[in-house]
Amino acid sequence: MTFVPKTYTVESVTSGHPDKVCDQISDAILDACLAQDPMSRVAMESFGGHGLVVVGGEVTTSAKVDYEAVAKKVYKDVGYDQEMKFLINVVQQSPDIAGC
CA distances from 74 to 28, 31, 39 (A): 8, 12, 23
Q: Tell me the pLDDT tens digit for each residue of 1-58.
A: 677 778 877 777 777 788 899 999 999 999 999 999 999 999 999 999 899 999 999 9
Cα dihedral 27, 28, 33, 35 in deg (nearest 10): 110
Q: Which 8-state DSSP code applies to residue 86?
A: E
List the single range of 15-19, 47-51, 79-83, 84-88 with lowest mean pLDDT: 15-19
pTM of the predicted model over 0.85: no
**Domain ranges within the chain, ordered by starting residue:** 18-98
When mean pLDDT is compared across 14-18, 57-61, 96-100, the lowest value belongs to 96-100
Q: Topology of 18-98 in CATH? A: GMP Synthetase; Chain A, domain 3 (3.30.300)
Kindly tell me the burial class for residue 55, based on how many C-beta atoms sit within 10 Å of its own C-beta (0-12, 13-18, 19 or more): buried
When pLDDT is cut at 50, 70 and 90, the band that residue 98 belongs to is low
